[in-house]
Structure 1
Amino acid sequence: MGSRIVIYSSRLDPDADAMASRLTELGHQPVRLNTEDLPAHSAIRLTHDGGDWAGAIEFDRSGPPLVVDEVGAIWVRRPDRYTMSDELAADLHYFAAAETDHVLGGLFASLDVLWVSHPAAIRAAGWKGEQLQRAARMGFRTPKTLITTDPDAVREFAETVPGDIVVKSMTGPAGMTRHHTGWRDHPLGRRQLLTKVVGPDQLEGLEQVRYAPCLFQEYVHKAFELRVTVIGDEAFTAKIDAYEGGVPAVDWRKPGIALRYSKFRLPADVEASCVEFVRGYGLNFGAVDLIAGIDGDFVFLENNPSGQFAEIDRAVPELGLADALASLLVRGR
């Protein structure tokens, strides 16, 4: 095992850019394994002769190649779609993408290195429904939730919930553009799918719910929100004050709202539960979203196993997110 750090992501990823810069400042030269370089803008040469896999992936662009026996740690951030050669017939693109996926999957399964985090662990940790059940069993309070394709079930759910309900996506643009070719150019593929309140007018017209499963939850009235970034066995918590029209915003990611980050200290038991939740999947990184309710309770919303950190790191440098992640990658196994 070597000491080279690989950042597996895409070209347009500010978090990957920030980590690459930080590692360079520390004297390391990370490999950027961008999905857009594969396979059209790279040369894959991997060999097996009875021992471990050997060889390299070299890129047309500048930067170091991925030499298999030099790798010590891989940070899986946000891979996107592969790029196919213009000379390849369009009806073979899916086959070429599947073959490329298979090569990377086999290589990743063969590498005994530090993963932040392994793709299999990330996928297992990404199911929102399972997250809610696991969190509840660990003692977290979770919102009442309905997943359905039945408009009448939504209306019945709304009647059982005191106050408003919200609708939210379970995948989002990153997952859609990764697996479905058309999403990159679709309007939904270029913006976040925000959580929205479902008002009385929307309850009267819910026929589109029939076309795809939708997730509805009770709206938890908040004092503020929290992003708990778990890196290794440590947790770093940022308080998020987000206001729209003088009241707490439904979704703090909405552009144009008044937004402020600050360092926050969670109760020790809640912080420990966040770390246990993330580590329970075999993850070395997780971005846990909590609501601090107006009643003082902490409510679990979700965990993003490949969540963003750079924006909060810039806003609250005293948290030291980039340094903590860089330190973990440099230490390796």
Structure 2
Amino acid sequence: MDDDRSVLVLTNTYDVTADVVLRLLAERHVPVVRLDPGADLHAGASLTATYRADDQRGTLRTASRELDTARIRSVWVRRPSPYEGPPGLNGQDRRFAADQTLWGAGGILASLLGAHYVNHPWNNRAAEFKPAQLSTARRCGFLVPDTVITNDPDEAREFAVRRPGKVVYKPLWNTPYRVDDQPHSVWVREVREAEITDAVSVCPHMFQAKVDKVFDVRVTAVGARLFGVRIDSPDLDWRHRQNRMRCTPVDVPESAARAVVAYLAELRLIYGAFDFAVTTAGDWYFLECNANGQWAWQPAETTAAIAHAIADQLEKGPDI
């Protein structure tokens, strides 16, 4: 491996989670270039790609670096800003510039020859669809709660009636939402049949049998290395009030570990943040996998271990 090949980190300026890994790479003397393409390419940075019959080349220029894109060993797709166009433009001109940046720069950065992606942005996007997650989880051997995704109110009500326990509603995507002009999150919550109205017909809704859980688990996977944390929270959705939860390391059962590795392989992911609900019988029910989930909120020893595992992936580059 050429020691001067750079790691490209695609993330926003305020991503402190990325900083944890960048410090490790600096200690290892691995060259790193940080880029937020949705913002930096409208603020002085430039990206060029040239395609010929016998050659493909590219150059990335930032305020401090000029990088031959053929010299990129790894790309960490962390939390780049959305492609929204230059702030100095308005209306359709800004939308046009945003789309051209997404399909141009985004396409270049997703097509770097010989680079190792953690994760590839197209694989990230494909893995974000909850129906695909549930389908993949079943095939890989996870226990999955009974689930229906429908825009038919009668189907939704029938699902709720036929479940012996309670039913929860989960949004299919974390859409930004405001109430009285204040940011508002849609959390997982219990629903009764009487609460399911004809408004379900507006768009698909996801209803799921509530798991009679004792605690939650987050398993952060970096390749074949798994890091489990038990989450004890008074809330159905532990994300709601994270100051009320308690996290402790937990071992991942062999059956769940095998399914995690199979899941990553099927969706072509290097990294994944898996959420489980664990019952009194010790059954681990798959809830979801965030292909780009946050991880630095976990206990210090777990956070440090995950950071080292990600740094290892980025440092090693592609398998030759």
TM category, shorter: 0.7 to 0.9
Q: 1:195 is matched with which residue?
A: 188
Structure 2 counterpart of 1:223: 214
Residue 291 of structure 2 corresponds to which residue in structure 1? 305
**120-129 or 39-48: bigger deviation:** 39-48
Q: Secondary structure at the residue paired with 1:48?
A: strand
Alignment partner of 1:266: what SS? coil
Deviation at 1:287, TM superposition (A): 0.9
- SS of the counterpart of 1:299? strand
Which residues of 2 match residues 165-314 of structure 1 at below 5 A?
165-173=167-175, 190=183, 192-199=185-192, 203-204=194-195, 206-243=197-234, 249-255=235-241, 257-312=243-298, 314=299
Is the 1:169–1:193 contact (alpha carbons within 8 Å) kept by the matching residues of 2? yes
Aligned to 1:332: 317
CA distance in 2, matches of 1:315, 1:228: 15
Matches within 5 A, 1:132-171: 132-171=134-173
AA in 2 matched with 1:39: L
Spell out the pairing of 1:56-205 with structure 2 (5 A cutoff): 56-59=59-62, 62-103=63-104, 104-173=106-175, 190=183, 192-199=185-192, 203-204=194-195
Stretch deviating more after TM superposition (94-103 or 281-290): 94-103
Q: TM-score, normalised by structure 1?
A: 0.85
Contact 1:195 1:250 in 2 (8 A): yes
Instruction: Say if 1:234 and 1:275, in contact at 8 Å, map to a contact too.
Output: no
Distance 2:291 2:165 in 1: 31
- What whole-Å deviation, never above 9, does each CA across 1:30-82 have from its counterpart, x for those lacking one? 222213424311223333344443232323xx543553122110011223322
2:7 aligned with 1:5, yes or no? yes
8 A Cα contact 1:121 1:283, kept in partner? yes
Moved >4 Å (runs of 4+): 185-192
Say if 1:10 and 1:34, in contact at 8 Å, map to a contact too: yes
Q: Which runs of 5+ in 2 are unaligned?
A: none
Give distance in 2, aligned partners of 1:121 and 1:4.
Answer: 22
* CA 305–204 in structure 1, closer or farther in 2 if over 3 Å, else same: closer
Indicate the SS of the match to 2:110: helix
- In the aligned structure 1, how far is the partner of 2:195 from the partner of 2:256? 39
User: Any stretches of 5+ residues in structure 1 without a counterpart?
Assistant: 177-182, 244-248
Alpha-carbon offset, residue 190 of structure 1 = 4.8
Over aligned residue pairs, what C-alpha RMSD do you find?
2.6
Which amino acid in 2 is paired with 1:67? Answer: D
CA deviation after TM superposition for structure 1 residue 189, in Å? 9.7
For the 8 Å contact 1:6–1:66, the answer to whether it is kept is no
Amino acid at match of 1:24: A
| Amino acid paired to 2:317 | G
In the other structure, the counterpart of 1:43 is 46
Structure 2 letter corresponding to 1:236: F
Q: Deviations over 1:89-140 (max 9, x none)?
A: 5212222222112222144224221111111222222221122122222322
**SS of corresponding position for 1:82:** coil
Task: Tell whether the 8 Å contact from 1:40 to 1:83 is kept in structure 2 after alignment.
Answer: no
Partners of 1:263 and 1:319 within 8 A in 2: no
Give the distance between the partners of 1:117 and 1:84, measured in 2 at CA.
Answer: 24
Tell me the SS of whatever aligns to 1:85: coil
Please tell me the residue identity of whatever aligns with 1:305. Answer: A
Residue pair 2:83, 2:99 contacting (<8 A) in 1 also: no
Could you tell which deviates more after superposition, 277-286 or 102-111?
102-111
Q: 3-state DSSP class of the match of 1:320?
A: helix
Structure 1 CA distance for aligned equivalents of residues 114 and 272 of structure 2: 21
Match of 1:55 among 44, 58, 64: 58
**Contact 1:261–1:315 (CA under 8 A) maintained in structure 2:** no
Secondary structure of the structure 2 residue equivalent to 1:301: strand
> TM-score of the superposition, structure 2-length normalised?
0.88
User: Map of 1:22-33 to 2, 5 A cutoff?
Assistant: 22-33=24-35
Moved more, 46-55 or 107-116: 46-55
